[in-house]
Structures are given as C-alpha cells and as structure tokens.
C-alpha cells in the first residue's frame, strides 16, 4: 500500500533521512523504532507531505505522491496522529473531531462522532471543553479519534505512548491493536520498542536517518542488536 524508495530529507543543510527504503502492505501493522533524533518523525512528516523530500519517492497504492499536497494525501486516505498530539487547544473537543473530518462532508460525520464517543466516553463527557484543558492521556485519545474521523486507510502514529502513565499506555496499545483488527493499515513510530514490536507484523529500525534492520516484529524482538540498543536487555 505504501512504498518508500530511497527517501532523503533535509532541515536546511542537515540531512535527517538518508535513502530510506520501506514498505507497508494492506492490513499490516508496521512499527518503526529508533533512538532520539533518528529521523522517525521526519519520515512520517514526509509521508504526510508536510516536510520537503530531497530525493526518493513515496508511492501510495502504486501512485507517486512524492509531490502531492498534504490535503490531497488526507483525501487519498493517509492520516497522522502527530508527535506531541498537536491539539487545536482553544477549540472544543468536538470541533477538533469535526476538523478531523474536514475533507469529508455530510451526515455520516455525526455517526462517526458517536463512534468515537463510544470508544472513548470521556471525550463525550468533555466534548464542549477546550481540547487544551484535557489531560495528556485524554488528548492522546482525542488525537487518535481526530485522525480516525477522516476514515484513513493508512494511519500514521508518532509516539502515541509518549509521556503517558503505564495504564494509559496499555489502553492506547489496545486501541491500536483493535484498529488493526478492524482492517486499518498502521505505521507506528515508537520509542517503546518492546510494545511496538510486540504488536507489529513487521518492524524497521532507524539509526541516524538510515534503515539498519528490517524484519518481522517477533524476529526483531529476538535480535541481539535490538535487545541491547532498544530493549535494554
């Protein structure tokens, strides 16, 4: 479904991605792990079209979207839950959700809202409150729901467990597993390598802008290099 070929990206003169090759098949949950500053966020931003690509290609359903605008990609079915949640803080919870469906109109949006509220009842309770007043965990639920409002075929998640209490982390991972079981293709970026590789079909390891390992999630969990560098074993 998603193919990334030889992708490079720069911030000014600093190169942050260097010839990344990566692919994600329909229905897969692919995890990308890597240390701070490895370039994980940059890669996701390239896929969403909010970060300039300096070399390489991105194909979605076989179609070259390397130069497509970010809004076109949302329309094609790529949604992202960005690092740090990126709420529209002063806007209400419900407005945040409605904006997630910005590229889709019509009566179905109301049904989707109800679905999100069923999944996370706390969001319904707080639907009139400014999103910025929610707790970290609630904001993460909102960020995921907001992305789902666009009916994505490919969901990009950037460190959804960051800064959350352990109980919430497992709730977020349960949600991700559930989404996958319902057929959403997921690209998960995590520093929590153990959890991320545990639920992944396949995984990639990124180091200073390069893919250094690619294998099934299970195999990566067993890999010596991964064990020492990312699992602290």
Partner 1 sequence: MPPAFVELLQFLLSGVTSGAIYALVALGFALIYNASHVINFAQGEFVMLGGMVTWVLLSQGIDLPLAVLGAVGLTMLVGLLLEKLAIEPVRNANVVTLIIITIGAAIFLRGLTSVTLGKDLHALPAFSGNEPLDLMGATIMPQSLWILGTTALIVLLLHVFFNYTLLGKAILATSHNRLAARLMGINVNFVLLLSFGLSALLGAIAGILIAPITATHFEVGIMLGLKGFAAAILGGLGSGLGAIVGGLLLGIIESLGAGYISSDYKDAMAFVVILGVLFLMPSGLFGKRGTERV
Ligand X SMILES: Nc1ncnc2c1ncn2[C@@H]1O[C@H](COP(=O)(O)OP(=O)(O)OP(=O)(O)O)[C@@H](O)[C@H]1O
Binding interface with ligand X (CB under 6 A): 11, 14, 16, 34, 36-42, 83, 191
Specify the DSSP element, H or E, that contains 124.
helix 121-125
Residues 35-54 that bind Mg ion (CB under 5 A): 40-41
Contact at 8 Å (CB) between 48 and 78? yes
Among partner 1, Mg ion, ligand X, none, the one that 160 touches (CB under a kind-dependent 5 to 8 A) is: none
Pick the piece of the chain touching partner 1 (CB under 8 A) from 13-21, 97-105, 119-127, 211-219: 97-105
Residues 45-104 that bind Mg ion (CB under 5 A): 83
Residues 64-83 touching partner 1, rule: CB under 8 A, are 69-71, 73-75, 79-80, 82
Task: State which of residues 15, 66, 86, 208 lies at the interface with partner 1 (CB under 8 A).
Answer: 86
Interface positions, 4-63, toward partner 1 (CB under 8 A):
48-50
Cβ neighbours of residue 119 closer than 8 Å, sequence gap 6 or more: 145, 175
> How many CA atoms does the CB half-sphere of 51 hold within 13 Å?
22
Between 120 and 204, name the residue whose CB sits nearer to Mg ion: 204
Look at residue 16 and give the partner it binds from ligand X, Mg ion, partner 1, none, a contact being a CB closer than 5 to 8 Å depending on partner kind.
ligand X
Output the CA–CA distances (angstroms, integers) from residue 133 to 36, 92, 121, 171, 196, in the order listed: 28, 9, 16, 21, 28
**Angular region, 148: left φ>0, alpha ψ -120 to 50, beta rest:** alpha
The size of the interface with Mg ion (CB under 5 A), counted in residues, is: 3
CA-CA distance, 133 to 126, in Å (whole number)?
9
Closest distance to partner 1 from the beta carbon of 213 (Å): 28
Give the end-to-end CA distance of the chain in Å, rounded to a whole number: 34
Chain contacts with Mg ion (rule: CB under 5 A): 40-41, 83
């Amino acid at each position: 479904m998603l193919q990334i070929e030889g992708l490079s990206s720069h911030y000014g003169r600093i190169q942050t991605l260097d010839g990344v090759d990566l692919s994600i098949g329909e229905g897969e949950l692919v995890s990308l792990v890597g240390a701070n500053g490895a370039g994980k966020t940059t890669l996701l931003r390239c896929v969403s079209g909010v970060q300039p690509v300096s070399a390489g290609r991105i194909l979605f359903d076989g179609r070259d979207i390397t130069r497509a605008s970010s809004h076109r990609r949302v329309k094609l079915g790529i949604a992202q839950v960005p690092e740090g949640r990126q709420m529209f803080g002063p806007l209400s919870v419900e407005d945040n959700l409605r904006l997630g469906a910005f590229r889709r109109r019509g009566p179905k949006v109301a049904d989707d809202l109800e679905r999100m509220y069923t999944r996370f009842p706390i969001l319904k309770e707080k639907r009139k409150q400014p999103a910025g007043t929610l707790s970290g965990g609630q904001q993460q639920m909102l960020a995921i729901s907001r992305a789902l409002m666009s009916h994505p075929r490919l969901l990009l998640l950037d460190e959804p467990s960051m800064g959350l209490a352990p109980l919430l982390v497992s709730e977020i991972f349960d949600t991700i597993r559930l989404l996958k079981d319902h057929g959403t293709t997921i690209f998960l970026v995590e520093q929590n390598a153990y959890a991320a590789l545990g639920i992944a079909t396949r995984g990639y390891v990124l180091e200073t802008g390069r893919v250094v390992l690619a294998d099934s999630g299970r195999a990566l969990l067993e890999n010596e290099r991964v064990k020492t560098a990312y699992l602290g074993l």
